[in-house]
């Protein structure tokens, strides 16, 4: 039998969860998944999972890339990150990356109105209050400085709204196209809601990399 206290707790928690979801562009299915494509072939996956706990949102990011010539591995990439958001703003992030044998680690946490950032690629620093991790799912990152979640560097790219098109692969679903130039060189797309729907950039070898949504 369900006790009255259980029902009361659920009733109190439900508005908080709805409020947390309303503050950030979290997809209804609590998941974003992309196929990473190079020269028309899939080389990896990028998956984001969203989970609510009262007013807090936890986002877990997994990105894997493998490029091989037959049985011979040429390039391997592994990235794992966990973001914690509260009240519509990020309060912490931890990430580890293995970029083809070069390992990186980043940690950031909120202290007052600032984010403290430290990692293996540089000394600890205090990021501006409006800085956001550059994990793309949150379109709000385009409104201020960004923090590279692989190496912890502060980025201030020039951002332009190109217009509405079918995304990096010319799909049927229209999305708003933005360019980032300067500290980073890439294009990103957001559908209404907003929802992150695509990414395009050049790899270290100059070959174009495209993110195609898979669900």
Q: Who wins on pLDDT, 133 or 19?
A: 133
Q: In sequence order, what are the residues at sequence separation of 6 or more whose Cβ sits closer than 8 angstroms to the Cβ of residue 171?
A: 198
Residue 196 burial (CB count, 10 A): 23
In a domain, 7, yes or no: no
In a domain, 39, yes or no: yes
User: Whole domain around residue 65: which residue ranges?
Assistant: 14-213
Residue 2 has pLDDT above 90, yes or no: no
Alpha carbons 7 and 21: distance in angstroms, whole number: 21
Alpha carbons 128 and 5: distance in angstroms, whole number: 43
- Band the pLDDT of 21: cuts 50, 70, 90: low
In a domain, 9, yes or no: no
In a domain, 63, yes or no: yes
Contact of 152 with 133, CB cutoff 8 Å: no
Average pLDDT over residues 26-32: 94
Q: Residue 5: what pLDDT?
A: 41
- Band the pLDDT of 193: cuts 50, 70, 90: confident
In a domain, 6, yes or no: no
pLDDT in tens, 103-157: 999 999 999 888 999 999 889 999 998 899 999 999 999 999 999 999 999 999 9
Q: Residue 84: what pLDDT?
A: 97
In a domain, 8, yes or no: no
Task: Give how many domains the chain has, as a whole number.
Answer: 1
pLDDT in tens, 66-113: 999 989 999 999 999 999 999 889 999 999 999 999 999 999 999 988
Strands (E), the chain: 31-38, 41-53, 56-69, 72-86, 89-99, 102-111, 114-119, 122-127, 132-133, 146-147, 154-155, 158-165, 175-181, 186-191, 195-202, 208-213
Least confident of 14-28, 33-47, 153-167: 14-28
């Amino acid at each position: 039998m369900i006790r009255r206290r259980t029902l009361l707790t659920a009733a109190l928690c439900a508005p908080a969860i709805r409020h947390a979801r309303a503050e950030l562009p979290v997809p209804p299915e609590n998941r974003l998944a992309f196929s990473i494509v190079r020269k028309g072939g899939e080389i990896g996956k990028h998956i984001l999972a969203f989970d609510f706990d009262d007013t807090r949102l936890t986002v877990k990011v997994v990105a894997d890339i493998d490029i091989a010539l037959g049985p011979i591995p040429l390039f391997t990439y592994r990235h794992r990150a966990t973001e914690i958001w509260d009240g519509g703003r990020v309060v912490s992030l931890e990430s580890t990356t293995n970029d083809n044998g070069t390992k990186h680690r980043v940690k950031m946490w909120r202290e007052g109105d600032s984010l403290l950032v430290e990692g293996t690629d540089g000394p600890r620093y205090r990021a501006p209050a409006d800085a956001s991790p550059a994990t793309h799912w949150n379109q709000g990152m385009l409104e201020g400085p960004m923090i590279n979640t692989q190496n912890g560097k502060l980025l201030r790219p020039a951002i332009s709204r190109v217009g509405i098109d079918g995304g990096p692969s010319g799909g049927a679903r229209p999305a708003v196209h933005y360019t980032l130039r300067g500290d980073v060189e890439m294009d990103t797309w957001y559908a209404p809601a907003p929802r992150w729907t695509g990414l395009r950039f050049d790899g270290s070898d100059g070959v174009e990399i495209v993110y195609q949504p898979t669900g």
